[in-house]
Amino acid sequence: MSGNRSVLVIQGLTKYFGGLKAVDNVYMEAAECSITSLIGPNGAGKTTIFNLITGLLQPTSGKIYYKNQSILALPPTTIARIGIGRTFQEPRVFNRLSVLENILIGFPSQKGERVHHALLRTKAAFEEEKKNKEKAIEILEFVGLADRGSDLAQDLSHGQQRFLSVARVLASNPDLLLMDEPTVGLHREEIVRLIDLMIRLVKSQRRTILLVEHNMDVVMNISDEIHLLVEGHGIAHGKPEDIKANPKLVEAFLGTSLSGNRKKGEVLCT
C-alpha cells in the first residue's frame, strides 16, 4: 500500500490511567484504502487506542491526525461526523427497533427531526426520509441482511447482530472504520463472510479499516500492515509476511501459530 496517503497518523500516543501506562509512546499510520491490524495480548492497550482516536478518552500526550488534521480535543460526535466510525467488541444494536430502523437512526442529518407534528413536516423531510430508506436498504444488501429489514434486531442471531452493527456504522458513511474484535463469537462461515465484507469495504468502497483482531488467520489474510502491541508498547510492525517471518516474536506474545494466504504483495486497492 505504499504510495497511498495516510488517512490516520498517530505519533507518540501515550495514555496513563493513574500509574498504569495503558498506551506508551505508540506510532502508527493507516494508509488510505487499506487494512491495518492491531494485535497483542489482552490489556495491550488496543481498545484504549480506539477510545483515544474516537475522542472518548483524551491522551496524556501524543498526537492524532485524521486526513492531516489534528483531531485531539474534538468531541466524539464531531470525530464521527468527519468520517471516523467504530464498531465495538460486543454488537451494539437497538433490540426493540427493526433492522431497517437501526440503520435509519444512524443517518446524520434528519430534516424532519426538529418538527414533532408529522403534518408539519416539510416535503424536503419526506424526500430525505425516502432517500435514507433507499440507502438503508442498500447498506443491508451490502452486509447481507436484505431479507431481515422488517425483523426486530433482537430476533437476529449474535452473528447477524454483528453484521447489523457494521451496517449501522456505515449509515454515517465513514472513510475510516475502526473495528474492535469483530470476529468474536462468530461461526467459521460468518467469519468468512465478515472477511469478504471487510475486503469489499476497502476494495469497492475505498474505505480504510483499522482492525483489532485476535484471530491470526484473519489478521494474516487481510492485513496490509500489522502492529504488534504489548503492555502499551509497539513491539513490531510490518506486512503479514514480515510478521510471519518472525514467528517466535508473535508466538511468544500471542501464543499462536500462524497461517494465512493473502498472496505476497497482493494489494486490495490500486
**Contacting residues toward Mg ion, per CB under 5 A:** 46-47
The reply on whether position 46 binds ligand ADP by CB under 6 A is yes
Q: Closest by alpha carbon to 160, among 150, 148, 169, 172?
A: 148
Q: Between 11 and 89, whose beta carbon lies closer to ligand ADP? A: 89
The reply on whether position 45 binds ligand ADP by CB under 6 A is yes
Q: Closest by alpha carbon to 173, among 144, 211, 135?
A: 135
What is the closest distance, in whole angstroms, from the C-beta atom of residue 51 to ligand ADP in the complex? 7
Q: Between 50 and 142, whose beta carbon lies closer to ligand ADP? A: 50
The reply on whether position 47 binds ligand ADP by CB under 6 A is yes
H-only helix segments in 74-187: 76-81, 99-104, 123-143, 158-170
Q: Between 56 and 191, whose beta carbon lies closer to ligand ADP? A: 56
Q: Between 91 and 106, whose beta carbon lies closer to Mg ion? A: 91
What is the closest distance, in whole angstroms, from the C-beta atom of residue 42 to ligand ADP in the complex? 4
Task: Choose the one of ligand ADP, Mg ion, none that binds residue 12, judging by a C-beta under 5 to 8 angstroms depending on kind.
Answer: none
Q: Between 48 and 102, whose beta carbon lies closer to ligand ADP? A: 48
CA 90/CA 77 separation, integer angstroms? 20
Q: Distances in Å between the alpha carbon of 125 and those of 39, 68, 73?
A: 44, 34, 33
Beta bridge mates, 23: 15
**Helix, strand, or coil (residue 32):** coil
Specify the stretch interacting with ligand ADP by CB under 6 A; choose among 45-53, 77-85, 99-107, 130-138.
45-53
CA 114/CA 103 separation, integer angstroms? 19
Q: Between 22 and 167, whose beta carbon lies closer to ligand ADP? A: 22
Question: How far is the first Cα of the chain from the last one, in angstroms, to the nearest whole number?
Answer: 8
The reply on whether position 87 binds ligand ADP by CB under 6 A is no
One of 6, 34, 36, 48 touching ligand ADP (CB under 6 A): 48
Non-local CB neighbours of 47 within 8 Å, separated by 6+ positions: 89, 180, 212
Q: Distances in Å between the alpha carbon of 176 and those of 51, 54, 98, 156, 211?
A: 14, 11, 26, 27, 11
The reply on whether position 247 binds ligand ADP by CB under 6 A is no
Cell of 192: 468468512
Q: Distances in Å between the alpha carbon of 97 and those of 101, 138, 141?
A: 6, 18, 18
The reply on whether position 2 binds ligand ADP by CB under 6 A is no
One of 44, 100, 156, 198 touching ligand ADP (CB under 6 A): 44
What is the closest distance, in whole angstroms, from the C-beta atom of residue 143 to Mg ion in the complex? 23
**Helix, strand, or coil (residue 214):** coil
Task: Choose the one of ligand ADP, Mg ion, none that binds residue 166, judging by a C-beta under 5 to 8 angstroms depending on kind.
Answer: none
What is the closest distance, in whole angstroms, from the C-beta atom of residue 110 to Mg ion in the complex? 32
User: Which residues contribute to the site for ligand ADP (CB under 6 A)?
Assistant: 17, 20, 22, 40, 42-48
